[in-house]
Amino acid sequence: MRTSQTLRHLIGPIELLHEQAGPRLLRLTRLGVFALWIVKLLLDPLWRLAEMPREMLHPVGILALLPESALDALLTWNGLAALIVFTLGVLVLALTDKAFPVVATIAAVLLTAYSSLIRSFGPAVHTDIVLLLAVYSLAAFAWADWIALKFGGKKSLPAAWSSYPLVTIVAMLCLSYCLVGLNRTIAGGVHVFTGDTMEAWAVDASLRGYYFNTNIGWHIPEWPAVVFMLSSGLPVITLFEITAPLCLVVPHFRWIFIPVMLSFHLLSLVFMNIFFFDDMLCYLLLFDWSRRFPALQAPLRQTPA
């Protein structure tokens, strides 16, 4: 009896994240997601890709549907500059909340094209995919709100409508971790967690160097403590990845998950030059703001702006 009470105390309350979220929190999330994309694009000299040898391009996603002539036109200084300027314009428009479903949908298409383009010169890496899916979620739920209002009247829109995109974004973030962990554990098998696998991956990533290049990771074989930390940390991180969906429902789990995974992402930067800063910013949605700040909660009945 006492054990079960202690366990219950440790697990804490079980409640759906953002269940009480109101339109203000949704508005803040929209601002955050689109502002983050704006910052990313402002820092990106995309037009330089015109200098890349054409044979390096292996089109990803929707870019593969474009004819060669369209790709040739896109991969010029003017084409790339036009893509980034037009995308920035649409993103700024999305901040205003005017005709949001239409603007957000155009933004989703443009950001998909942009994200496909920057991956077409190498592997389709996972960084910022969840941020792109967040735009999909915001756009698609805005259309769902519009359809519900248009065909069902104001009463057809549920009181919790603001929480839908927020919960979906967190669910997609958690699902991405969960699928990564499951794939590693079940497809890779036990041997991924034994031997030198993690050390080899870390040295490999460090030698290659990416945008961030700490030039530290290839020293790892000299540091037994770091080798131990990486080898023993991989199964722990994988366990957190697989159990990430618990973040949706167990606040106590989130308080462990957030520091553990933030540390993991920072160590990935230090030792492997890999930085998932978009995912780290998405962690802001792992806080149940509406339970802490009543102003962000949903009123009993509300309609989209």
Partner 1 sequence: MTTSPRAPSRLHPAIAGVIIALIAALFIWLLSFSPWKVVPFALAGQAYVLIAILLAFRYWPPMIRWVTSMSVPHRAVFGVLIGSMILGHYTLNGRTYFPYVVWEIFPFVNERDPVTCREFIATTESGARVRLLAEQLFPSIVQIDPLDALDNPRLYPPGATERLARALARVYNEHHTGDPVRRVDLFVMAVKLHPPASESRAQPSCELLKRYDISSGQ
Task: Give whichever of 211 and 295 is closer to partner 1, judged by the CB atom.
Answer: 211
Q: Does 171 bind partner 1 (CB under 8 A)?
A: yes
Residue 69, φ and ψ in degrees, nearest 5: -65, -40
Q: Does 176 bind partner 1 (CB under 8 A)?
A: yes
Task: Give whichever of 141 and 257 is closer to partner 1, judged by the CB atom.
Answer: 141
Token reading at 134 = 């967040």
**Which one of residues 28, 38, 82, 172 is an interface residue with partner 1 (CB under 8 A)?**
172
Please give the distance of CA 224 from its chain centroid, rounded to a whole number.
Answer: 33
Q: Which of residues 242-271 bind partner 1 (CB under 8 A)?
A: 242, 245, 248-249
Residue with tokens 């530290």: 216
**Which one of residues 33, 132, 286, 298 is an interface residue with partner 1 (CB under 8 A)?**
132
**Which one of residues 121, 228, 255, 293 is an interface residue with partner 1 (CB under 8 A)?**
121
Q: Does 168 bind partner 1 (CB under 8 A)?
A: yes
**Which one of residues 8, 58, 98, 154 is an interface residue with partner 1 (CB under 8 A)?**
58
Q: How many angstroms separate the CA atoms of 290 and 69, rounded? A: 50
CB of 299 to partner 1, least distance (A): 15
- Whether 120 and 89 have beta carbons less than 8 Å apart is answered as no
- Whether 6 and 252 have beta carbons less than 8 Å apart is answered as no
Q: Which of residues 62-91 bind partner 1 (CB under 8 A)?
A: 62, 64
CB of 97 to partner 1, least distance (A): 19
Task: Give whichever of 278 and 296 is closer to partner 1, judged by the CB atom.
Answer: 278
Q: Does 37 bind partner 1 (CB under 8 A)?
A: no
Piece of the chain touching partner 1 by CB under 8 A; list 11-19, 22-30, 69-77, 286-294: 11-19
Q: Which of residues 177-216 bind partner 1 (CB under 8 A)?
A: 178-180, 182-192, 195-201, 203-204, 207-211, 213
Q: Does 46 bind partner 1 (CB under 8 A)?
A: yes
3-state helix/strand/coil string of 195-231: CCHHHHHHHHHHHHCCCCCCCCHHHHHHCHHHHHHHH
Token reading at 230 = 């990486």
**Which one of residues 119, 162, 269, 282 is an interface residue with partner 1 (CB under 8 A)?**
119
Q: Which helix (H) or strand (E) holds 95?
A: helix 77-96
Token reading at 183 = 């794939």
What single string gives the DSSP state of each residue in 163-199? HHHHHHHHHHHHHHHHHHHHIIIIII-GGGGSTTHHH
Piece of the chain touching partner 1 by CB under 8 A; list 30-38, 56-64, 257-265, 279-287: 56-64
Piece of the chain touching partner 1 by CB under 8 A; list 96-104, 125-133, 257-265, 288-296: 125-133
- The answer to whether the Cα torsion of 251, 257, 263, 268 is positive or negative is negative
Q: Which helix (H) or strand (E) holds 267?
A: helix 251-272
